[in-house]
Chain A
Amino acid sequence: MTVVQIVALAAVAITGAGVVLAADPLRAVFVLGLFGLTLTMLFFSFQAPDVALSEIVVSTLALPLIVFAALRKIREHERELERRDGGQ
């Protein structure tokens, strides 16, 4: 195992723990993007560039977009409910 692989493995472990320990979903998504980047470096250091390309596009583009849209909808829905309860 080369040094790059060991460093990548350690980075994956640390950012993985960071995702779980993040305070709220919004922060967790940002750390998730970072986690995806470290996973990409891991796959690349193990000589799997196709998997690394897939991982980087999915975890930095696809997943955060969907989760941001869902979080925004939830927050707006909560605000709407508050507005209705406050008005009545």
Chain B
Amino acid sequence: MSRRARLALFLCSGPGLAAVLVLGFRGLPAIGAYHGVYGLVVNGVELSERHATDFVTSLNFDLRAFDTLGEEYILFAAAVGVAVVLRGLRAEDEQEQDEQSADSSRKQGFAGASDALRALSLLLVPLFVALGAYVVLHGALTPGGGFQGGIVLAAGPIAGLLAGRYLALKRIAPESAVEALDAFGACAYALLGLGGLVFASSYMQNFLPLGIAGHLLSGGYMPLNSIAVGLEVSGAFLLVWTEFLDQTLIVARGEGS
């Protein structure tokens, strides 16, 4: 379809869409007006029932823990899919390159970084790891939790990439360790639910003592869930990132030789 035809189509249908949108927005309640019941119930009841001060995390990891199980397995399946496809591609590429060129130098990697960048990443790595661990452990107390802290944790080794030391990154976070981390996190989350089945009466029921609200070990098994999710998310993201970066490394090797 030519550009003019597309423009004409938009000019015909755009005002219709705009009219429908305006009509729809006029029927909405005002910003901040909440018409539901569940949120108000949770706000009133959650602190006395679960002793956790971050209600969103308690919804994620306790009151609606089963939904989070599905979400974690979505991430797990996505990471496994990426690994399967890209590793298959990488095996083919490596075979092709070995046939084409006799010497494939393994030293070729990303370009070296300036000293300022190296100093910055030296600062960033402990910052990321500390911040990630803090957000994961305080999931039940402050905003954040397993998912957010997990990504920040995964960014720690990636800051090594910022310093131009990708091969060092591969030694800190080798593929087997990253896979094991991902699988362990996913497995731990499902098994914590089994603890609920064994010690309390139903799957994913909170079975640990609730503690005092505001302390680190409060909310029953929420900190454990948070840690499991944090490990799983950081493992999944590290797996995906290193797979993508390995792909560029393969082509860069081909360029150099």
Contact = CB atoms under 8 A, between A and B. Distances in A.
A63 to B, nearest CB: 11
Nearest to A53: B148
21 contacts: A50-B57, A50-B144, A50-B145, A52-B143, A53-B135, A54-B148, A57-B148, A57-B155, A58-B151, A61-B158, A62-B237, A66-B240, A66-B244, A69-B244, A69-B245, A72-B248, A72-B251, A76-B248, A79-B255, A80-B254, A80-B255
Contacts of B143: 49-50, 52-53
A63 B98 CA distance: 32
Interface in A62-82: 62, 65-66, 69-70, 72-73, 76-77, 79-80
Contacts of A50: 54, 56-57, 143-145, 148
Interface in B41-57: 54, 56-57
Contacts of B148: 50, 53-54, 57
A53 B56 CA distance: 12
Interface centre among A53, A54, A58, A77 (most CB of B within 10 A): A53
Instruction: Determine the main DSSP class of A at the interface with B.
Output: helix
Nearest to A51: B56
A41 B245 CA distance: 30
Interface string B18-52: 00000000000001000000000000000000000
Given A53-B135, A77-B251, A80-B251, 9 more contacts: A50-B143, A50-B144, A57-B155, A61-B152, A62-B237, A66-B241, A66-B244, A76-B248, A76-B255
Interface of A: 1, 5, 49-50, 52-54, 57-58, 61-62, 65-66, 69-70, 72-73, 76-77, 79-80
Contact of B31 (A1, A49, A53, A57): A1
Contact of B248 (A54, A57, A69, A80): A69
What is the interface of chain B mostly: helix, strand, loop, or mixed?
A: helix
B252 interface: yes
Interface in B123-175: 135, 143-145, 147-148, 151-152, 155, 158
B95 to A, nearest CB: 16
Interface in B228-257: 237, 240-241, 244-245, 247-248, 251-252, 254-255
A73 B90 CA distance: 12
A79 B255 CA distance: 9
Contacts of B244: 65-66, 69-70, 73
Contacts of A80: 251, 254-255
Nearest to A69: B244
B255 A53 contact: no
Nearest to B142: A49
A62 B248 contact: no
Contacts of B255: 76, 79-80
Nearest to A55: B148
A5 B143 CA distance: 20
A57 B158 CA distance: 13
B248 A73 contact: yes
B151 A73 contact: no
**Interface-centre pick from A1, A66, A79 (highest chain B CB count, 10 A):** A66
